[in-house]
Structure 1
Amino acid sequence: MRRLGVIGAGGMAETVFSALAEALPAPLEAVSVLVPPGSADKGEALLARFGAALAASRSVRTDRATFLADAPEAVAECAGHGAVREHGDAVLAAGIDLIVISVGALADDATLARLEAAAAAGGVRLVLPAGAVGGLDALGAAKLSGLEEVTYTGRKPPLAWRGTAAERLLDLAALTEATIFFEGTAREAATQFPQNANVAAAVALAGAGLDSTRVRLVADPGAQRNLHEVSVRSAAANFTIQLEGRPSPSNPKTSLTAGYSVAREVLNRVRKVAI
């Protein structure tokens, strides 16, 4: 792969470009960034920061037609659920692989079905990186043996849940011990707590599905950072994987791991050995 498209120019895209500029075996031929008209200067500044170490040709586009005319061989979405819904099917239908990090958008059956149909029409793939969580390769393998139970637990410091439905259920500032405030399916979690939708949906789509994957959300005053835990019981193996996520310096609501996960997918398309 020599030509890459990226949707978005925020903290996620910055992490992706930083990783690529350092780890690419050679600069790409071209990188195009798609942003809303009001964000063109932001996109230009981001590309200028990484310069020729990233790609020989670097362009910012504010309309999708021009972006697709740049002929990227893959497009990485780094702009949120709205961008998936707005641009996803057009990218796929144009015959371009789409790497979606905002996996929570696919908790909506209609969106997932539309993107699958567009991928089939374009003869390409919709690719879902693991993002902020780990163990999805082991989960996908265990799925082939038969899954018995999959549970995702999201644990954050109480004040990290501000601005979510948790505020209506708990006095977050007064908590003195870990408290589970949600237990349900991945689909319910993605709907009620969209801030955790991407992780819950990624675990569900890799494993038991949106309606059979259990989710627990916890406010824990003893937690220093966001903790993601995936527990699996299957015919092949039982395992639990826990990650303590660090936030992006430029956008604390974005996990650093998620951006590096996108970069890893791109690098696997460039390197001679993919792992």
Structure 2
Amino acid sequence: MHLGVIGYGNITRALLGVLARAGRAPDRVTLLVRPSQAGVARASGAEVVTEAGALIAAAPDLIVECAGHSALAEAVVPALEAGIECVVVSIGALADANLHSAVTGAARKGGSRVVLPAGAIGGVDLLASLRPSGIEAVTYVSRKPPLAWKGTLAEGLLDLPALTEPATFFTGNAREAALAYPRNANVAATLALAGLGFEATRVEMVADPTVTRNIHEYRVTSGAADYTMRIEGKPSPDNPKTSLATVYSVAREVMNRRNEVAI
């Protein structure tokens, strides 16, 4: 397998480590990184390119995007047009209606597809399957330790280090959440795309000093089933904004293309 990866941050490094430990390391890896990252990325032993065109010319079997929202327009769209399947981690970027249209249009043009992994949550397969039954409501609550919200708009709304009790600093729909908190709302965007859409999916964000993990909770009411999910994700040691489960979810997408039985 020839795996292409966009970005060489925490998620990429953890992903390659998981694949290696699982005995499913790709035969070949090509990394697309910014020129300033090229030297560090080469130390991984992978092939390194600094332009989207070079990654596409390398013709990987699958591309995984781990580089943030700008990477979708810069690299994922042309890769899909070239017929290369892409797994997108920065799902919150699809809250931009124009970008969402560009991504789906590129996949259609190239006869490829964009895959959205479950990431930090579970039950997305059930949510998507319930859509024809009529979904009435989806409500998602993101609860994280205060410092996990550092570097976001929450800093201007709350004194994060001084919190002694949970504080809800955002209530709105999934599109508003994903656009205002792009590095923290991938789950909200995933639920929206699987279920009721961005406008109808309700979101709450909470800075909670009583928890030490990233907690994702959501409730679904539909014509075929009602259910509640609660996942206490362990934060990545290198980036508390990222749940470790996200890395394993992406690794599963890669391994399913090599495993004899895909689950």
Q: CA deviation at 1:183?
A: 1.2
Q: 2:174 maps to which residue?
A: 186
Q: 1:7 maps to which residue?
A: 6
| Secondary structure of the structure 2 residue equivalent to 1:152 | strand
Q: 2:41 maps to which residue?
A: 43
Query: CA–CA distance in 1 between the matches of 2:3 and 2:125?
Result: 25
Query: CA–CA distance in 2 between the matches of 1:254 and 1:183?
Result: 21
| Secondary structure of the structure 2 residue equivalent to 1:79 | coil
Query: CA–CA distance in 2 between the matches of 1:188 and 1:216?
Result: 11
Matched, 1:159 2:158: no
Name the amino acid aligned to 1:10.
G
Q: 2:72 maps to which residue?
A: 84
Considering fraction of residues, name the structure with more helix.
1
Name the amino acid aligned to 2:35.
P
| Secondary structure of the structure 1 residue equivalent to 2:185 | helix
CA contact (8 A) 2:184 2:241 kept: no
Name the amino acid aligned to 2:59.
A
Matched, 1:142 2:141: no
Query: CA–CA distance in 2 between the matches of 1:250 and 1:196?
Result: 15
Query: CA–CA distance in 1 between the matches of 2:110 and 2:253?
Result: 20
Q: 2:17 maps to which residue?
A: 18
CA displacement, residues 150-191 of structure 1 (integer Å, 9 cap, x when unaligned):
011001122322332223333333333222221110001112
CA displacement, residues 84-138 of structure 1 (integer Å, 9 cap, x when unaligned):
1211111101110011010011000000100111101100001100111221111
* Equivalent residue runs for 1:97-136 within 5 Å: 97-136=85-124
Name the amino acid aligned to 2:33.
V
State the TM-score, normalizing by the size of structure 2: 0.95
Of 110-119 and 232-241, the range deviating more from structure 2: 232-241
| Secondary structure of the structure 2 residue equivalent to 1:6 | strand
Name the amino acid aligned to 2:96.
D
Q: CA deviation at 1:16?
A: 1.1
Q: CA deviation at 1:61?
A: 1.2
Query: CA–CA distance in 1 between the matches of 2:152 and 2:29?
Result: 36
| Secondary structure of the structure 1 residue equivalent to 2:211 | coil
Q: CA deviation at 1:203?
A: 1.0
| Aligned pairs, number | 263
Q: Are the structure 2 counterparts of residues 158 and 252 from structure 1 closer, same or farther at C-alpha, using a change threshold of 3 Å?
A: closer
* Equivalent residue runs for 1:49-60 within 5 Å: 58-60=46-48
- Correspondent of 2:200 among 203, 208, 212: 212
Superposition RMSD in Å: 1.5
Of 96-105 and 150-159, the range deviating more from structure 2: 150-159
Structure 1 unpaired stretches of 5+: 49-57
Q: CA deviation at 1:64?
A: 2.0
Structure 2 unpaired stretches of 5+: none
State the TM-score, normalizing by the size of structure 1: 0.91
* Equivalent residue runs for 1:193-204 within 5 Å: 193-204=181-192
Percent sequence identity over aligned pairs = 52
- Correspondent of 1:177 among 149, 156, 165: 165
Query: CA–CA distance in 1 between the matches of 2:159 and 2:240?
Result: 22
